[in-house]
Amino acid sequence: MDTENIKVAVRLRPFNSREKERNATLVINMNGSETRITDPKNAESVHKFNFDYSYWSHDGFKEEENGYFSPDPSHPNCNKYADQKKIFDDLGLGILHNAWEGYNSTMFAYGQTGSGKSWSIVGYGNNKGIVPQFCEKLFEEIEEKKQDPNNATDYQVICSMLELYNEKIRDLLSSTKNENLKICLHPSHGFYVKNLQQIPVKNFEKIKELMNVGTTNRTVAATNMNATSSRAHTMFGITFTQKFENTAGTMSEKSAMINLVDLAGSERASSTGATGDRLKEGAAINKSLFTLGNCISALAKKANGGNIKVPYMDSVLTKLLKNALGGNSKTIMVAAVSPADINYQETLSTLRYVNRAKEIKTMAKINESETDVLIRKLTEEIEQYKTMMKSGNIPMMSDTADLTEEEKRELRKEIEEEYSNILDENNRRIDDIRKTYAERLKEAEERAHQPAEMRKAMVQKKKTVPYIYNLNMDPQLTGHVFYFFENSPISVGKDVENAICLKGPSIAGKHASICQNKNDWTIEPTDSNVRLLVNGVQVTSKTILHHNDRIVFGTTQYYVMVHPKKSARDKTAYPDITFAMAQKEIGIHSGIDMNTLLEEDLLEMLPAIEEVNAISKELDAKKVFSLMLNNQSEVQVQVTDTESDIEWIWSRQEFLNRKYIMQEVYQQFITGENWKLPQDKDPFYDDPTTPYLIGSVEIFLKSLAHGIDTKQVSDIIDCSARKVGTIEVHLIPCGEDSKDLIDSEESFFSEPEERLNKNLHFKIKILQAYGLSNRFTDMYCSFKVYLGETEHKTDKISGTVNPKWNFSKMFSFKMVTKQLIDYLTSETITIKLWGCHRSSKKDNDMTQVPSISEPVQQSEDIEPRANQAKFLMELHILKRKQRKQETKLDAIKQMIELAEKHEKTKLSLKLIKSLFESTTQQEIDANLQLISQEKDDDLESTTKSLTDADKSSSSKVSIRDLRKENRKSVNNSSLREII
């Protein structure tokens, strides 16, 4: 048995087009096996990771004439660049070697959606990924070995492909509709999928064909089921068997299972929703990836000596990958990461995730046994289970004493079903062993003959007949569904009698009609209420379809028009269409500012909003969803109950999490299943008594850094950037005894730096709000202060639109640091105003829900209002600063007059500095009283000006020079000059 750690490789891709448009910066650096990621907000925060391989594929390459990306000798990163060949040589050849030796192997592809997983695993065009290179090389070596006339070994390659979505397994190579295969446990071989197609192949071309079939089936399912591919895991399995005569003269077989796993987007694993979302644990979609993370953590702790249970049984994915994670397999994990600062959090999460995996150990063994012994063992197991089932002598668990008779019968039934599955699997294995590979190949080719001929005919038809093909957010699933324009007219809709039958939200029974007009094809909606877009614009009348036009039926069905003759005539005029391009043009025509930093989020959210609104309408959920921009910094979703007019605000992540559950519910609805969920699991439901964020206000803290009080009256702004009221907040310095220091001697103005390493005490008083809506009750405010996790809240006030809280909270800092000073001088606190909706609709005065473009336009007023509040704060500080200067100048004037009164010609520098640095009137008076005790020092004949005063505390300053300096200070201390 060969024990080794899971190998981990990280690969960095180039910037994609969207990252380039947003002027993204590079946050990843690689040196040898080390990967470093730098926080774009804090250059000193660098996380370092060491992996088995760190592959730099960000730059340093050129495109060859055949499309292959190879190292560019003219680029400084030429030697650093890792091309597809380098990746395969390091990772793929090892898997190939293991397969010949009889070891099982597994390769995971992990990373954020769009991070380049498919590029490494599958590749595109001549840039072949690990899978096609492995398959090509395997068959090349098989053919080489067959050339040896003394080699009588029989080589067999069997393929399977499945998709795991929402804890359900689909066979992607099956022509029958078995969408939910069962996973079973065999006592000798571990977990397996019952009735999963195992298809023999004789060359690499057949494997490519099968992978194409599987991808097409994924696309059709995603289109029909309204499912999202980024939430599905895909597993492509290859079983390589060598049958030969051993030294004893008996037949043996050596087998290796190679599993290539494309995991769902890793950003979905980090969070299933906002904090406190009651549905975050209920989304089965996330269960597999979440459990995989738990298994990796448990296995890492176990490898370091911990005694911990590994939760393989908690999800379907981890059951299937049990061997790969901690059993009989040699395993590699390939993490694909984005180079961009805008994906920093997701990339850091990915690196941390796979960093744990490298500690896991697996115990691979060579899978070799004599054929006769294997058949005999399987036959004995069959007879053993048959006897137990026939006699009814089925062993039960030892702790069944507390079970009722009904529960015992159910348990016995489950065990009998498990035994039956084992019998079926053993019989299948015996048939596979006894049946020759030639026989299995013949059967597979007969089954595949008709579909293969249809695919060939389709390829030819695409050269001459106009058609539309599907567009998907996953590039792998784009271009796998085709509808040809052969007859006119062509009806489109969800009714089965339509020529093009589409399913999904907002698809009408008769949705659109496509007709031929000489050499052109036109499209028009069959009803004025249907959603039909061409190039992002709503179609209201007959419209000509041109080559490369983007068509959207309903909210989820995206297609591209193809005119073969026109495209052949001028290829340069027609760029490749992507899903992002189609989304962007919809966004432009919906009023989205494409220059906003939130463009990416908006483009993602806009179609999602349209989709859930369509689902809500079909399910009669009585909810309307609309996009909101929170001060241009965050995309949120406003949810409105159409019966009560009660509103909720969901974060982007909470909305996306619930959207996936809504899609599951909708799928059950259209397939006739029981789709209604209990209230606690209903993705449309929110507690009407949940506090609603009415608005917020930013309060500047700079006055506290100067030790002065300010009263700020500021506008309360809601998530749509509308003013919803006014709030009065008072910031007050105070003593340790909590006594307010307002215009007192103790609140004497000071510069922020003077407060370093001293105590600081202040109060935040939230007095009152004015002019709020009468549709809210139980209104209160909340806020956090300086690195604090504690949320401070006022009392709840009801029955008024002008709530008076008179709230006061004292904050104390025993040692003022530079960080605290920076916080007070440059940051704000956000005070959030919350309230509960009144239950009666007639009491509400809700205004029209804004369109997506309105928040962007209205939010332009926020900046001037914020600048005005900041200006008033600065002006207040400057006035207090002038008052301080005037007080000190008055003190110096008094000092000069007292010195002349006592006939002093000189004063000590120490006394002058002490007077100048006084922070209260009491300190000033105490220093003035010391003047009478001053003595002229004849030994110190040299007078010193104020500018030289810091050279010696024992120096003397003449009263004449002091009066001269005082006159200069007075002339330069006007408020106009200070400003």
Write the CATH number for 783. 2.60.40
Cβ 755 vs Cβ 926: under 8 Å: no
3-state secondary structure of 474: coil
Q: What is the DSSP letter of 629?
A: E
pLDDT of residue 52: 94
3-state secondary structure of 283: coil
pLDDT of residue 703: 86
Last residue of a domain, one of 681, 707, 722: 681
Give the sign of the dihedral formed by CA 770, CA 776, CA 777, CA 778.
Answer: negative
Is residue 426 located within the same domain as residue 307? no
Range with lowest mean pLDDT among 7-21, 32-46, 452-466, 845-859 = 845-859
Distance CA(6)–CA(637), nearest Å, equals 42
Task: Say if residue 272's pLDDT is above 50.
Answer: no
Is residue 141 located within the same domain as residue 244? yes
- Domain assignment of residue 862, yes or no: no
pLDDT of residue 806: 95
Distance CA(90)–CA(187), nearest Å, equals 35
Question: 752 vs 430, which has greater pLDDT?
Answer: 752
Q: Is 114 labelled as part of a ligand binding site?
A: yes
DSSP-assigned beta bridge partners for residue 552: 533, 558
Mean pLDDT (whole number) for 886-891: 75
Establish whether the linkage from the previous residue to 505 is cis, with ω within 30° of 0: no
pLDDT of residue 870: 62
> Hunting for tokens 């030289």 — which residue is that?
948
Write the CATH number for 518. 2.60.200.20
pLDDT of residue 298: 85
pLDDT interval class at 975 (50, 70, 90): very low
Cβ 805 vs Cβ 795: under 8 Å: yes
Q: Are strands 512-517 and 520-525 parallel, antiparallel or unpaired?
A: antiparallel
What is the number of other CB atoms lying within 10 angstroms of the CB of residue 804?
Answer: 13
Q: Most confidently modeled of 558-562, 573-577, 581-585?
A: 558-562
pLDDT interval class at 849 (50, 70, 90): very low
Domain of residue 946, residue span: 879-978
- Domain assignment of residue 241, yes or no: yes
Task: Say if residue 616's pLDDT is above 60.
Answer: yes
pLDDT interval class at 447 (50, 70, 90): low
Q: Is 115 labelled as part of a ligand binding site?
A: yes
Task: Say if residue 227's pLDDT is above 60.
Answer: no
Q: Are strands 154-165 and 127-128 parallel, antiparallel or unpaired?
A: unpaired
What is the number of other CB atoms lying within 10 angstroms of the CB of residue 310?
Answer: 19
pLDDT over 90, % of the chain? 28
Cβ 468 vs Cβ 562: under 8 Å: yes
Is residue 522 located within the same domain as residue 669? no
Is residue 837 located within the same domain as residue 885? no
Distance CA(657)–CA(274), nearest Å, equals 9
Is residue 152 located within the same domain as residue 291? yes
Task: Say if residue 922's pLDDT is above 80.
Answer: no
Q: Could you report the per-residue pLDDT of 370-399, keeping only the tens digit for each?
A: 555 556 666 666 666 666 666 666 555 444
Instruction: Kindly report the backbone phi and psi dihedral angles of residue 636, in degrees, each rounded to the nearest multiple of 5, phi listed first.
Output: -130, 170
- Domain assignment of residue 853, yes or no: no
pLDDT interval class at 566 (50, 70, 90): confident
Within 31-92, residue ranges assigned H as helices are 84-87
Q: Could you report the per-residue pLDDT of 285-342, keeping only the tens digit for each?
A: 557 777 888 888 888 887 777 778 888 888 888 888 887 887 778 899 999 999 999 8
Task: Say if residue 801's pLDDT is above 90.
Answer: yes
- Domain assignment of residue 865, yes or no: no
pLDDT of residue 275: 42
pLDDT of residue 826: 84
Q: Is 509 labelled as part of a ligand binding site?
A: no
pLDDT of residue 597: 56
pLDDT of residue 271: 39
Cβ 55 vs Cβ 9: under 8 Å: yes
Task: Say if residue 576's pLDDT is above 70.
Answer: yes
DSSP-assigned beta bridge partners for residue 524: 513
Question: 869 vs 31, which has greater pLDDT?
Answer: 31
3-state secondary structure of 495: coil
- Domain assignment of residue 793, yes or no: yes
DSSP string across 757-816: TS-EEEEEEEEEEES--TTEEEEEEEE--TT--PPEE---B-S-SS-EEEEEEEEEESS-
pLDDT of residue 177: 63
**Helices 93-101 and 130-146, axial angle in degrees (round to 10):** 40
Task: Say if residue 417's pLDDT is above 90.
Answer: no
DSSP-assigned beta bridge partners for residue 700: 828
Is residue 829 located within the same domain as residue 960? no
Mean pLDDT (whole number) for 781-810: 92
pLDDT of residue 560: 95
Which helix (H) or strand (E) covers residue 492, if one does?
strand 490-493
Torsion of CA 891, 896, 901, 906, to 10 degrees: 130
pLDDT of residue 562: 93
What is the number of other CB atoms lying within 10 angstroms of the CB of residue 489?
Answer: 12
Is residue 228 located within the same domain as residue 296? yes
pLDDT of residue 58: 94
Question: 118 vs 439, which has greater pLDDT?
Answer: 118
Question: 775 vs 230, which has greater pLDDT?
Answer: 775
pLDDT interval class at 561 (50, 70, 90): very high
Question: 72 vs 406, which has greater pLDDT?
Answer: 72
- Domain assignment of residue 449, yes or no: yes
Is residue 583 located within the same domain as residue 640? no
Is residue 541 located within the same domain as residue 412? no
One-letter amino acid for residue 633 of the chain: S
Instruction: Sort residue 493 into left (φ over 0), alpha (ψ -120 to 50) or beta.
Output: left
Q: Could you report the per-residue pLDDT of 144-183, keeping only the tens digit for each?
A: 999 998 888 889 899 999 988 878 888 998 877 656 888 8
- Domain assignment of residue 625, yes or no: yes
Q: Could you report the per-residue pLDDT of 127-150, keeping only the tens digit for each?
A: 999 999 999 999 999 999 999 988
Task: Say if residue 667's pLDDT is above 70.
Answer: yes
Radius of gyration over every alpha carbon of the chain, rounded to an integer in angstroms: 37
Mean pLDDT (whole number) for 542-547: 93
pLDDT of residue 938: 45
DSSP string across 839-898: S-GGG----PPPPTHHHHHHGGGHHHHHHHHHHHHHHHHHHHHHHHHHHHHHHHHHHHHH
Q: Could you report the per-residue pLDDT of 457-479, keeping only the tens digit for each?
A: 788 888 889 999 999 887 778 88
Cβ 211 vs Cβ 161: under 8 Å: yes
What is the number of other CB atoms lying within 10 angstroms of the CB of residue 667?
Answer: 17
Is residue 360 located within the same domain as residue 375? no
pLDDT of residue 498: 92
Residues with Cβ within 8 Å of residue 419, at least 6 apart in sequence: 385, 388, 389, 394
> For residue 59, how far is the Cα from the chain centroid?
25
Cβ 630 vs Cβ 636: under 8 Å: yes
pLDDT of residue 855: 38
Question: 653 vs 436, which has greater pLDDT?
Answer: 653
Task: Say if residue 102's pLDDT is above 80.
Answer: yes
Q: What is the DSSP letter of 504?
A: S
Task: Say if residue 950's pLDDT is above 60.
Answer: no
pLDDT of residue 408: 62
Is residue 699 located within the same domain as residue 769? yes
Is residue 153 located within the same domain as residue 298? yes
Distance CA(889)–CA(886), nearest Å, equals 5
Tokens of 28: 């990843």
Mean pLDDT (whole number) for 543-558: 92
pLDDT of residue 276: 45
Cα within 13 Å of Cα(379), Cβ side:
10
Nearest to 835 by CA among 663, 647, 652, 706: 647
Question: 772 vs 929, which has greater pLDDT?
Answer: 772
pLDDT interval class at 974 (50, 70, 90): very low
Last residue of a domain, one of 319, 347, 366: 366
Mean pLDDT (whole number) for 631-653: 81
Tokens of 868: 């005005």
Last residue of a domain, one of 422, 443, 461: 461
pLDDT interval class at 681 (50, 70, 90): confident
Q: Is 117 labelled as part of a ligand binding site?
A: yes
Range with lowest mean pLDDT among 411-415, 660-664, 785-789, 954-958 = 411-415
With 0-12 / 13-18 / 19 or more C-beta atoms within 10 angstroms meaning exposed / middle / buried, residue 394 is middle
Task: Say if residue 979's pLDDT is above 90.
Answer: no
Instruction: Kindly report the backbone phi and psi dihedral angles of residue 225, in degrees, each rounded to the nearest multiple of 5, phi listed first.
Output: -90, -5
pLDDT of residue 218: 79
SS3 per-residue string spanning 339-404: CEHHHHHHHHHHHHHHHHHCCCEEEECCCEEEHHHHHHHHHHHHHHHHHHHHHCCCCCCCCCCCCC
Mean pLDDT of the chain: 80
pLDDT interval class at 871 (50, 70, 90): low
Task: Say if residue 972's pLDDT is above 50.
Answer: no
Q: Could you report the per-residue pLDDT of 351-378, keeping only the tens digit for each?
A: 998 898 888 888 887 777 655 555 666 6
Tokens of 761: 């005490």
Tokens of 89: 């040589």
- Domain assignment of residue 758, yes or no: yes
Total structural domains within the chain: 6
